[in-house]
Structure 1
């Protein structure tokens, strides 16, 4: 299938070998370490506010 996990870039796993590999793993990017633009932060804040307004608005409308 289309698995693109860079398997050819990784050394074989050997539990007996405690040496670190000589080659760095491919760079990975995860959300907490990523830099965000002001536009992305604004979009996230708007989505959060709309979600909160809908959640609490529906709850108060049903009371």
Structure 2
């Protein structure tokens, strides 16, 4: 059987929950969340005035 996988060894692949992350990634996630909340709530609220 031919292996048509795009990865060198699919059995050694790591998924996101298994990978470690640092404070930089936490900061980026918090910033993205803040921008998303501003777009979702603040912009429509300010547009009503």
Give the TM-score of the pair, scaled to structure 1.
0.53
Q: Give ranges in structure 1 of 5+ residues lacking alignment.
A: 10-24
Q: Root-mean-square deviation (CA), in Å?
A: 2.1
Runs of 4+, deviation exceeding 4 Å: none
| Rg larger for | 1
Question: Which residue does 2:6 correspond to in 1?
Answer: 4
Q: Higher relative CO (CA 8 A, sep ≥ 6), structure 1 or 2?
A: 1
Give the TM-score of the pair, scaled to structure 2.
0.63
Q: Give ranges in structure 2 of 5+ residues lacking alignment.
A: none
| Paired positions, count | 44
1:42-57 to 2 correspondence within 5 Å? Answer: 42-57=27-42
